Amino acid sequence: AQKVTQAQTEISVVEKEDVTLDCVYETRDTTYYLFWYKQPPSGELVFLIRRNSFDEQNEISGRYSWNFQKSTSSFNFTITASQVVDSAVYFCALSEARNNNDMRFGAGTRLTVKP
Amino acid sequence: SAVISQKPSRDICQRGTSLTIQCQVDSQVTMMFWYRQQPGQSLTLIATANQGSEATYESGFVIDKFPISRPNLTFSTLTVSNMSPEDSSIYLCSVGPRAGLGEQYFGPGTRLTVT
């Protein structure tokens, strides 16, 4: 069965620090998607990125970057020069091709960025 | 991405009563999903609702407790029946891509408190 582990329950950093959120996944499927979502205090889930299992290329979007490594079953998320507005709960999620659209979420990491 | 609205945004209900949550999408979508997020927890999939067919429930969730309707391609409802304080959660609907794997987009959620 698919599983997503976010070992970091809470992280606290000071503004402008870099921070990496870890995500480790388990799946028996060879075709799958990985996702990151942000849930700010308002509660709405904001989609950040999707990665498919055949594309290990890392991605950068502004201050955000993602490192996908199939060898370690990890899909880590780094925020560079963190800002107070980055404070939120971040969820990593996984969907397998054989369980079409059945998205499993990790427990989430609560990031607090202090001014 | 689709624009998704939910009603009500929040409610306080008494034990033993039922609440129906509405989810409206601004475009036609094939797949809609209902999730529960208990306080401080991750998201758990309740059921998948496809238009024209019965909802598919995940392990631990039953139709008698969480009946779902999907009358057309832009609307769905979730009813939380015979509520108890353990049902206090955020309930979120989401929509998935037309075909195959992909990210889901979430509504703002309904924050339910049962007293």
Q: Decide if pLDDT at B98 tops 60.
A: no
Closest residue in B to A36 (Cα–Cα): B103
Closest residue in A to B96 (Cα–Cα): A101
Cis peptide before B8 (omega within 30 of 0): yes
Mean pLDDT highest for which of A52-61, A78-87, B22-31, B102-111? Answer: A78-87
Q: How confident is the model at residue B113 (pLDDT cuts 50, 70, 90)?
A: very high
Do residues B109 and B90 lie in contact, with contact meaning Cβ atoms separated by under 8 Å?
A: yes
**The amino acid at B87:** D
Do residues B108 and B102 lie in contact, with contact meaning Cβ atoms separated by under 8 Å?
A: no
Q: Decide if pLDDT at B57 tops 90.
A: yes
Instruction: Report the 3 state secondary structure along chain B.
Output: CCCEEEECCEEEECCCCCEEEEEEECCCCCEEEEEEECCCCCEEEEEEEECCCCCEECCCCCCCCCCEEEEECCEEEEEECCCCHHHCEEEEEEECCCCCCCCCEECCCEEEEEC
Do residues B93 and B32 lie in contact, with contact meaning Cβ atoms separated by under 8 Å?
A: yes
Shortest alpha-carbon distance between residue B57 and chain A (Å):
11
Interface test with A, best of B46, B92, B101 (most A CBs within 10 A): B101
Sequence-separated (6 or more) residues with CB below 8 Å from residue A46: A37, A38, A39, A40
Q: How confident is the model at residue B10 (pLDDT cuts 50, 70, 90)?
A: very high
Nearest-Å Rg of the Cα atoms of chain B is 13
Contact assignment for A43 to B104 by CB distance below 8 Å? no
Helix (H, G, I), strand (E, B) or coil at A20: strand
Backbone dihedral region for residue B100 (phi beyond 0: left; psi -120 to 50: alpha; all else: beta): left
Do residues B81 and B65 lie in contact, with contact meaning Cβ atoms separated by under 8 Å?
A: yes
Backbone dihedral region for residue A43 (phi beyond 0: left; psi -120 to 50: alpha; all else: beta): left
pLDDT tens digit sequence for A29-57:
888 999 999 999 988 999 999 998 998 88
Question: Which residues from B are below 8 Å from A when comparing CB atoms?
Answer: 1, 31, 33, 41-45, 48, 90, 92, 94, 96-97, 100-109, 111
Question: Which residues from A are below 8 Å from B when comparing CB atoms?
Answer: 31-33, 35, 37, 42-45, 47, 50, 52, 91, 95, 97, 100-108
Beta partners for residue A25, in sequence order: A4
Q: What does the pLDDT read at residue A57?
A: 85
pLDDT tens digit sequence for A68-96:
999 999 999 999 999 999 999 999 999 88
Inter-chain contacts counted by CB atoms under 8 A, chains A and B: 58
Closest residue in A to B48 (Cα–Cα): A102
